Homo-oligomer: A and B are copies of this chain.
Amino acid sequence: MQPDLSRLDELLADRGVDGYLIDADATVSDQRYLSGFDAPDPFVTLYDGELHLLVSSLEYGRARTESRADDVARRADFDYRAKREEYGPDEADHRVLAEFLADRGVDSVLTPSRFPLAPADGLQELGVGVSAETDDVVTEIRATKTGEEIEHVRTAQRANERAMARAEELLREASVEAGENGDVLVDGGETLTSERVRREIEMELLRHDHALDETIVACGADAADPHDRGSGPLRPDEPIIVDIFPRGKESKYHADMTRTFVRGDPSDAIAEWYDLTVEAMEAALDAVEPGATGEEVHAAACDVYEAAGEPTLRSDEATETGFIHSTGHGVGLDVHEQPSIAPGGERLRPGHVITIEPGVYDPDHGGVRVEDLVVVTEEGHENLTGYPKELVVGGR
């Protein structure tokens, strides 16, 4: 895949700087996207119309064959060892980087907002102009996906659906037995825990070439905190939030989906919140189209909750119950990326892949969240999610 970097070209021309510089490992998605290279330790990518990489000797062979760089240099090309002896390892790194830039006629660079401070200082001391660009143009460019990237996300959501089905099956087929602190779900003679369901989800993802280290399987009070991963026994009659956001082991693209299940009889509050949340999701989805902003989509979800008397962060910035997060976020190389479906959220374009995931939380009742993944199209959106929305998965 060749990214369309015309907005980056325009930005460099507008600012009158020579190049765009990234110093990061490939877990930083702007680095992976721009360089087309995957390495575990930090390396340098320079874009000045052409793409140049500066890597360690260890990565040199692979960078030449696997990255999309026009040329690849290594630190040894700049007498790194002699510099390290003269200046120490940190200043040697900065001097090598300055020479790499000078060799390519680059006197000034724009960087991502989170470019590392010490190399920036080092380059400036050596006379290179360095300015951080707060809008993160590569992050913005990669928010708009090509057809190939959308296929990667679609494939990841298919794996996600198989994993969700495995989780639902475990909850549905468990027996309900008396535990030390009330009834619990039991499977194969053992108490069914968040940890056990999480492991089964991750095994199912691996079988389909996807990986995930942080699945949420949160029951009862755990479910009242949107980022609590959950732990311990799963109980009947309580909401169990299952939020799965796998990444393709080869493609590196994510999917994202959440369902809330109750095995047994949900409380009236939970049943009501579930219906309200599905209604908020539908209202938000109706608002998804090119030209709408993330803020407008978020507002559509807030309207539904507030009309029903539930607090939102829009109605009360400091509330700790109700709808206490944004409506969604972009998904791609990062599981959280642009655009933001929240106050201040960007204008939607065709090719944006976003979640819609309203939810309600209260420590007294637990939480409810439902999340689909959609792609913005010329006409509106296509829902990439094929999983049913059903709260109750079997009686007691």
**Contact, CB under 8 Å: B132 / A117:** yes
Q: Interface size (A, Cβ < 8 Å)?
A: 54
Copies of chain A in the complex: 2
A181 at the interface (CB under 8 A from B): no
- A202–B213 alpha-carbon span in the complex (Å): 12
Which residue of chain B has its CB nearest to the CB of A203?
A: B206
Binary CB contact string for chain A from 80 to 116 against chain B (1 if under 8 A, 0 otherwise): 1100100001100000000000000000000101111
Which residue of chain B has its CB nearest to the CB of A74?
A: B318
A40 at the interface (CB under 8 A from B): yes
Binary CB contact string for chain A from 119 to 146 against chain B (1 if under 8 A, 0 otherwise): 1110000000010101000000000000
A324 at the interface (CB under 8 A from B): yes
**Contact, CB under 8 Å: A317 / B76:** yes
**Contact, CB under 8 Å: B214 / A40:** yes
Residues of B with C-beta under 8 A to A119: 113
**Contact, CB under 8 Å: A227 / B62:** yes
Which residue of chain B has its CB nearest to the CB of A136?
A: B118
- Which of A9-17, A52-60, A169-177, A297-305 lies at the interface with chain B? A52-60
Which residue of chain B has its CB nearest to the CB of A82?
A: B317
Which residue of chain B has its CB nearest to the CB of A42?
A: B114
A199 at the interface (CB under 8 A from B): yes
Which single member of B118, B206, B214 contacts A206 (CB below 8 Å)?
B206
- A211–B344 alpha-carbon span in the complex (Å): 36
Among A175-215, those with CB < 8 Å from B are 199, 202-203, 206-207, 209, 211, 213-214
13 inter-chain pairs at a CB distance below 8 angstroms, sorted by A residue, are: A27-B27, A41-B336, A57-B313, A57-B324, A62-B225, A62-B228, A111-B117, A116-B117, A121-B132, A199-B209, A202-B211, A213-B213, A213-B249
